[in-house]
Structure 1
């Protein structure tokens, strides 16, 4: 169900029947030559739609900007601060709480948003004590990805415009993927990138961290469906 297409006269009764609000949170940033700048928005939106169908939830309008400090100097990237993102998420959560929602699930499509979502959830834990708050980023994906990937991950945490993320797009938003433009770029990411601020242009010119040519719809479907099952399980276990 799409929240923004309902009207004010009907919404109160509908919230009483479905007290779950799902917020897609994405970003606008470089994703190589084969994926659009809004890749993280598209993925978050499609994941949210699928999650809503499984838990009878409302999908809120997408929050389309994220913290993309690492890629902020690449053409097309739009960066906002963690502080701005946290405040936005807290304000949305508190508004939902006052409207009668009892569950707020943030479905994140961009790794860089993780810290802000966690801090926002902590703030809402204090200000909205009767509302369950979740922040999801493909739970269980690491194990699932290891079972289908054909190349070694460029980093133990990062994945970007690579075999894995391109596979997500081929499953969830294939019309926005240009496989004819896929490239292989497996950069040597320095150890210091994990312990000190490191703009990605120091180790990649493409923003691709892997072999996008190996992406398939089947890989994306396998990983995404495991992540969705885990989201549903986690939400149901907290009821």
Structure 2
């Protein structure tokens, strides 16, 4: 169900029947020459739609901007602060709570947002004690990705416009992938990048962290299906 297309006369009864709100959260940032700036929005939105069908939830309008400090200097990137994102999410969550929602699932398509999502969830834990708040970022993906990956990752945490994320796009939003432009860029990411602010232009000119040419729809489906199963399981186990 898409929340924005409901009307005020009928939506209250539907909220009472569902009580689950799903918010896709993405970003606008560089994703190499083969993926669009809104890649993270597309992934979060398409995954949220799948999740909603499994749990009978409402999909809220996508929150399309995120914290992209690391890539803020690349052409096309739009950055907002963690504080702005936290405030926005808390306001949305508290409004949903007042409307009667008991589960608020934030489906994140951009790793840089995760700190803000976690902090917002902690604030809502205190202010909305009867609402369960989730901050999902492809739960279970690390093990699944290791099983299908053909080349080593450039980083033990980051994945970006690479074999993995491009596979996600080939599965969830293939019409937005120009696979003929996919390139290989496996940068040497310095150790200090995990311990001090490090803009990505210090180690990559493409914003690609891997071999995007190895991406396939099958790899994307395998990982996404596992993440989806895990999200559904958590929501069903912990709702109300």
**TM-score with structure 2 length normalisation?**
0.99
For residues 100 and 205 of structure 2, the distance between their equivalents in structure 1, rounded to whole angstroms, comes to 47
User: Number of matched residues?
Assistant: 239
Following superposition, the deviation at residue 237 of structure 1 comes to: 1.7
For residues 86 and 134 of structure 1, the distance between their equivalents in structure 2, rounded to whole angstroms, comes to 14
Partner SS state of residue 134, structure 1: strand
For residues 104 and 228 of structure 2, the distance between their equivalents in structure 1, rounded to whole angstroms, comes to 16
Supply the RMSD in Å over aligned alpha carbons. 0.4
Following superposition, the deviation at residue 234 of structure 1 comes to: 1.1
For residues 212 and 113 of structure 2, the distance between their equivalents in structure 1, rounded to whole angstroms, comes to 23
For residues 180 and 89 of structure 2, the distance between their equivalents in structure 1, rounded to whole angstroms, comes to 37
Following superposition, the deviation at residue 177 of structure 1 comes to: 0.1
For residues 45 and 191 of structure 1, the distance between their equivalents in structure 2, rounded to whole angstroms, comes to 33
Following superposition, the deviation at residue 3 of structure 1 comes to: 0.1
1:77-88 correspondence to structure 2 within 5 Å: 77-88=77-88
For residues 53 and 85 of structure 1, the distance between their equivalents in structure 2, rounded to whole angstroms, comes to 27
Following superposition, the deviation at residue 225 of structure 1 comes to: 0.2
Match in the other structure for 2:160:
160
* Shift >4 Å, 4+ stretches: none
Partner SS state of residue 151, structure 2: coil
Following superposition, the deviation at residue 75 of structure 1 comes to: 0.1
**TM-score with structure 1 length normalisation?**
1.00
Match in the other structure for 1:76:
76
For residues 12 and 234 of structure 2, the distance between their equivalents in structure 1, rounded to whole angstroms, comes to 26
Structure 2 portions without partners, runs of 5+:
none
For residues 137 and 156 of structure 2, the distance between their equivalents in structure 1, rounded to whole angstroms, comes to 15
